[in-house]
Structure 1
Amino acid sequence: MAIRDHLDGLWRDEDFVEWYPRDGKPGLSPAQLATVSVLQFLLELSDRQAAEAVRCRIDFKYALGMELDDPGFHHSVLTDFRERLAEDGRADKLLDLVLEQIKVAGLVRERGRQRTDSTHILSAVRDLTRLEMVTEAMRAALEEIARQAPQELVGLVTDEWGERYGRASRLGRTPTRPKTRIKNTGDDVYLLLRYVRTYLRALWQGPQVQALRQIFLQNYWVDDRARVQRREPDEAGLPPSSTAIVSPYDLTARYSRRNDTRWKKFLAHVTETCDDDTVNIITDVTTTPATLYDIRALPAIHDRLAQRDLLPDEHLVDGGYTSIVQQDQSAREHGITLVGPVRKKRIRQSRQGNVFDRDAFTIDWERRQVVCPQGKPSREWSTPLSITPYTRVRFAKEDCGQCPVKSSSTRGDRRQLNFLPQQLYERQAAARAAQQTTPWKANYAMRAGIESTVNEFVNGHGMRQTRYRSQTKTHVQHVLTAIAVNIERVNAELATPTAERRPRTPTALQNFLDWQQIPRPTAWRTAGKS
């Protein structure tokens, strides 16, 4: 209610004009549907529960600006509205409208401090073995053909097919007669695909038929004698996880693994402000495939923040988003100081405790030469073609062969070094030196707060398990969840500003420190800054 009282709502019907055709019967208010969709994720309501709340709850009617006797709408309207949100990046435009209103209220500004982290999202499809996935893809394709042209299946579908594909496949990881099942399923799929391609050209581009075709190519291959053979990792090969389909019902989901975490679906990247004495506002949420590295998502995040006029001056991220090249690019293109740990590459020599790693060599940039710890200069200096520029130097075989400490330097006939160009190399050295200082560590400690925000998304609003299939619809869920979190925070800030909130009751240890007049930090944000 405070949102409507202080901000006069988040959007108006005029903001959605481009989403609807100009002719035809007038529909429901898109501003009201957007508000209901956000409240739905704020309170974790289903479509039916949200529609019932609009009809019965007076707080919903007040937030929507509806008359008390307004009957509301059918719950299926919310599904249609989300379909519109999933088109042409409209979900991000919805977040843009909210951030504009929050900026007008003075609760968020450009060139502050922001932080980003990611978390894994589980798919809305069950885990399938390779055999189960092919069987389910076959069943889904048959269902699609049966809905559109059931007469075409007469004579093709036999009693055996009815037994294999008449119901959902639940074979488990150790089915009976696995080799026979694998062979029969592959032959059946190949027969159906050839039949549809030859006699049912109008159905060939159907989504489930195309899904079956891709899954067949992923798991089988046809030899020179037109026999279907199953792909094995050590023979015909399997596609990498970045392209491998894991379910016929969601072709965008991918399998990924990070440390001990394994999942199938996507990654969600959450960005929020973290300036002192201000409410933290979610400024961006990004949904990417599970196999995409965090650092690959960062340029798109900065581009969207630039479009919203909300670029930070400092951006706090973890090591997954950080590289010297990315730090340099962020500074040049957006004027952003990317704050994150720059890891030191660990090579064999440094892992074993020897001193002859890269830092033990002296680089002379003007003479384009490197001197080893024994005083021998390099003989070759080259810059190979690469996406990321680097310099390669090699030492002479004669010098390395006669070196008394060769075993501590290289296992080959001569030592070779790779390092970044001078500008990036010096930036790298400065970054590694800075992150060892106390002020840098105190500033970087602010990044830890994004972990609690991710926990709020996951445990407070159910973001870990996606409600929908496909990446675009999952992104709609994430954007609506981000808006819901912003509404909670803005509502609390407008009701009781941060500066007027009472501090927490001191603990027993804090009372003891005050009694002994021992200084202590009054907030976790200031811990370690003295």
Structure 2
Amino acid sequence: MRAALEELARRAAPQKLIGLVTEDWGRRYGRAARLGKNPTRPRTRIKDTGEDANLLLRYVRIRMPELWDGPQIQALRQIFLQNYWIDSRDRVQWRVPGEAGLPPSSIAIVSPYDLTARYARRAGTRWRGYLAHVTETCDEGTVRIITDVTTTRATVNDSRSLPEIHTRLKQRGLLPSEHLVDGGYTSVELRDRAARDHQVDLVGPVKAKATRRSRKGNVFTRDAFTIDWDHQKVTCPQGNTSPTWLTSPSLAPYVQVNFSKRDCRDCPIKTQCTRSAARLLTFLPHDLHELQTAARAEQQTREWKMRYAKRAGIESTISEFVQGHGMRQCRYRSQDKAHVQHVLTAIAVNIERINVQLTSAPERHPRPPTALQGFLDWQYIPRQRSWRATG
């Protein structure tokens, strides 16, 4: 609302705003609003803002059609449609989550000034904007150099960015033979794709299959079932075989098998297997399944853990970007311009690191004594050499 009113105040004649902008609007939108986690009267604020936005959009559409295409007016229109709806009695209603269809984070507009910025949440971190993926070298005895920075929307999964990173590194002749990545970039499919397309050994933790076993302690995991790849059959611990083997495109690259409801109903240990009418299993095709099994076994070894420990160095790099260069404070609008900022920041980090290696540390000289300290020394009167010393 404030951004739209600022645009109208710049573009429209002042007389056209008389009667529209009231004292209430002056109090609500006359200055930037900074609401805390628990703002006062939230329902009243939501109701008033929705009615004000609806009134402003109708007013501009009818009285000032020449300004209807303004970027802030159009941003207000989209944000209004995403957060409010008009009922049969022409009343503005807030879209309550789970009832009236609030848009997902991937399309929800969070800024009237940058319509491509998105809201995201990772663990305890929440932000509005974009996501930066940083790649650096980690060879022993050499300067760690940033080789790539990729900027994506905040809602894009990390794994979707990895193929693009590898392609760009290959184009610049910087593709590594081994790539240590976070768990968010790791999957069996990506490991296989990186090895096939770029001959890159992708090193990262492959997550274990999440089942009720971790909570109940008495549920058969997928490893308890025997898979016959040649005949496309799966045998359960009780000796029953699955009648179906589904490999439809909607499940790719996974295979899904269902056991018979009759077999599961009469099974004496059904409670240790499933709470549904019949057990369902989903697993990767043969070659990827073996790769997944081998990867999970390998990452339990001491050698793999020592090899993967190098990846911890990227955390200090992220801290250097954030604390030293303010990378999380975007200075521009739009994803393309934010990417320029990220690239320039990476260049600055590289220059600093190389400069430290090329320039020897300056010789440090002790601070000369003050007049009083000089007098004490001249009189051989003992004094403390450091403020940290205790009397």
- TM-score using structure 1 length: 0.63
Q: Which residue of 2 aligns with 1:473?
A: 337
Equivalent positions of 1:277-292 (< 5 A) are 277-292=141-156
SS in 1 for 2:227: strand
SS in 2 for 1:248: coil
8 Å CA contact 2:264, 2:277 repeated in 1: yes
**Structure 2: distance between partners of 1:150 and 1:303:** 53
**Structure 2: distance between partners of 1:357 and 1:214:** 47
Matching residue within 170, 175, 197 for 1:311: 175
Equivalent positions of 1:232-243 (< 5 A) are 232-243=96-107
How far apart are residue 203 of structure 1 and its match? 2.2
8 Å CA contact 1:350, 1:357 repeated in 2: no
8 Å CA contact 2:212, 2:219 repeated in 1: no
8 Å CA contact 2:227, 2:234 repeated in 1: yes
AA paired with 1:240? P
**Percent identical across equivalent pairs?**
66
* Residues 454 and 162 (structure 1), Cα distance of their counterparts in 2 relative to 1, 3 Å cut: closer
How far apart are residue 150 of structure 1 and its match? 2.2
AA paired with 1:256? A
8 Å CA contact 1:244, 1:254 repeated in 2: yes
Q: Which residue of 1 aligns with 2:13?
A: 150
Matching residue within 325, 331, 334 for 1:461: 325
**Structure 2: distance between partners of 1:294 and 1:340:** 13
Which moved further from structure 2: 320-329 or 461-470? 461-470
* Residues 458 and 187 (structure 1), Cα distance of their counterparts in 2 relative to 1, 3 Å cut: closer
Q: Which residue of 1 aligns with 2:298?
A: 434
AA paired with 1:169? A
Q: Which residue of 1 aligns with 2:136?
A: 272
Q: Which residue of 2 aligns with 1:19?
A: none
Matching residue within 134, 139, 164 for 2:2: 139
**1:510-530 Cα shifts (integer Å, max 9, x gaps):** xxxxxxxxxxxxxxxxxxxxx
**Structure 2: distance between partners of 1:457 and 1:403:** 58
Matching residue within 362, 365, 368 for 2:232: 368
* Residues 312 and 263 (structure 1), Cα distance of their counterparts in 2 relative to 1, 3 Å cut: same
How far apart are residue 144 of structure 1 and its match? 0.7
**Structure 1: distance between partners of 2:46 and 2:274:** 50
Aligned length: 358
1:352 aligns with 2:216: yes
How far apart are residue 171 of structure 1 and its match? 6.1
AA paired with 1:290? A
**Structure 1: distance between partners of 2:257 and 2:198:** 33
How far apart are residue 479 of structure 1 and its match? 1.1
Q: CA RMSD in A?
A: 2.3
AA paired with 2:299? Q
Equivalent positions of 1:160-171 (< 5 A) are 160-170=24-34
8 Å CA contact 1:349, 1:408 repeated in 2: no
How far apart are residue 319 of structure 1 and its match? 0.8
Q: Which residue of 2 aligns with 1:420?
A: 284
Higher RCO (CA < 8 A, seq sep 6+) = 1
Equivalent positions of 1:61-100 (< 5 A) are none
* Residues 387 and 334 (structure 1), Cα distance of their counterparts in 2 relative to 1, 3 Å cut: farther
8 Å CA contact 2:258, 2:278 repeated in 1: yes
Mark the runs of 5 or more structure 2 residues left unpaired by the alignment. 361-391
8 Å CA contact 2:85, 2:95 repeated in 1: yes
8 Å CA contact 2:118, 2:153 repeated in 1: yes
How far apart are residue 283 of structure 1 and its match? 0.5
1:402 aligns with 2:266: yes
